[in-house]
Amino acid sequence: MKSPVFISSLGSVSALGQSPAEIWKNYKNPKHFISKHQFDKTEAFAAFLPMEARAAIEALRKENANYRKLDDSVLFAIFSARKAIKEAGWKNEKNIGVNIGSSRGATGLFEKYHKEFVETGKAATQASPSTTLGNISSWVSQDLQTKGPAFSHSVTCSTGLHAVVNAIAWMQAGFVNKFLAGGSEAALTAFTIAQMKAMKIYASEDLDFPCRALDMGKKRNSMILGEASGILALQKENSGNAIAKITGIGYATETLKHSVSISENGESLQRAMKMAIGEKDFSKIDAVVMHAPGTIKGDLSEVNAIKALFGENTPAITSNKWKLGHTFAASGILNIELAALMLQHQEFIEVPFSEISKTPARLENILVNAVGFGGNAVSVLISRK
């Protein structure tokens, strides 16, 4: 990176809540926010928004007749973007870029309209415009009346961090000075759960902690899905209310053996982390907020990558998916949120059942990882302001 980029604020909504104070309180709470739900004929674990957050989303839906036609993933993004803008103190500013992506896109509406088509042979008028991926950034831009570039993308689970990388590239190229970047996901449907179960990666054991992310002794895969959105308000210049700064970015792609493969030693993650660290001494990296989806191979590959890269200087390791599930495109942004909160409060959040997790001596620089299907890995270095 040419120079640091500052995180002015972070707006999010997830199973942990919707305000920084509430989210930090729930991180401090040793319990998880995952429960069993009935998805048509199948019961499965998932992490839904709490009732208060869901009520806020429904109130947003009723604000505008057009919003009633939007997918939850779009409404989550609008809700989070409003929060990010307000907390950043960006008043009457319109030259703001918007890049918000999604892994699954308008999942709920797509399945609804497809079911209607199968049953009637006809497609609803809103079927096409309300299920395009571009809905997310374009409606956020419409809601905020921004004048900068607005675009969406899908890079599976690393979508949110790719949005951050894109935003930094646009800002450092001089096109805009401020950007909203993140991911949004509302994919808790019977069909999505069935897809994960078909891959044999979904949690099935009813344990105290059903998602065993960073339990290196687990015998079964334990990934669990959650719904969320997370959006960073990024700017080139420092500000009094900035919560952290981004001092490095890295990205790499695996050589695939099949569509969801990852190498045993996480080669792409090693390259992404090394690029993000840049010329910094490896001993200066205090912690890593891992992607760690709770699968046997996924967790092990990332741990192996960290050990191979850092050797004796292996930093503290943690994850949040045991607590709020895997939120696909939003997961990397929620990882940044955890990193920023730990830097602000100078307190490390451990995985309660993981022996690999340890408390660091200091918290100044935290790596955040994401990797998705297709072997797309991204690392972002978050530093204390």
Mind listing the pLDDT tens digit for each residue in 184-197?
999 999 999 999 99
Amino acid at position 142, single letter: Q
Q: How far apart are the first and last CA of the chain?
A: 16
Q: What is the mean pLDDT of residues 256-273?
A: 78
Place 259 in a pLDDT band, splitting at 50, 70 and 90: low
The pair of structure tokens assigned to 256 is 């695939």
Strand partners, 205: none
Is 90 exceeded by the pLDDT of residue 312?
A: no
- Is residue 379 within 8 Å of 287, Cβ to Cβ? no
Q: What is the mean pLDDT of residues 30-59?
A: 96
The whole-model pTM stands at: 0.97
CA angle (69, 139, 185) in 5-degree steps: 75
Q: According to the model, what pLDDT value does residue 240 have?
A: 83
Q: According to the model, what pLDDT value does residue 23 have?
A: 98
Q: According to the model, what pLDDT value does residue 267 have?
A: 92
In Å, how far from its chain's centre is CA 231?
9
76-113 tens-digit pLDDT: 999 999 999 999 999 888 999 999 999 999 999 999 99
Q: According to the model, what pLDDT value does residue 219 have?
A: 95
Classified as helix, coil or strand, 238 is coil
Place 54 in a pLDDT band, splitting at 50, 70 and 90: very high
Residue among 341, 320, 295, 333 at smallest CA distance from 34: 320
Q: According to the model, what pLDDT value does residue 357 have?
A: 80
Is 70 exceeded by the pLDDT of residue 4?
A: yes
Q: What is the mean pLDDT of residues 207-211?
A: 96
Q: Helices 135-144 and 72-88 sit at what angle, rounded to 10 degrees?
A: 40
Amino acid at position 219, single letter: K
H, E, C per residue of 116-137: HHHHHCCCCCCCCCCCCCCHHH
Q: What is the mean pLDDT of residues 255-279?
A: 82
Is 70 exceeded by the pLDDT of residue 257?
A: no
Place 256 in a pLDDT band, splitting at 50, 70 and 90: low
Q: Rounded to a whole number, what is the largest CA-CA distance in the chain?
A: 63
- Is residue 224 within 8 Å of 70, Cβ to Cβ? no
Residue with more model confidence, 312 or 236? 236
Is 80 exceeded by the pLDDT of residue 374?
A: no
Q: According to the model, what pLDDT value does residue 373 have?
A: 76
The pair of structure tokens assigned to 231 is 């959006």
Q: According to the model, what pLDDT value does residue 258 have?
A: 52
Indicate the length of the chain as a whole number.
Answer: 385
> What whole-number distance in Å separates Cα of residue 288 and Cα of residue 277?
12
Q: According to the model, what pLDDT value does residue 36 have?
A: 96
The pair of structure tokens assigned to 316 is 């503290």
The mean pLDDT of the chain is 95
Q: What is the mean pLDDT of residues 238-248?
A: 93
Place 337 in a pLDDT band, splitting at 50, 70 and 90: very high
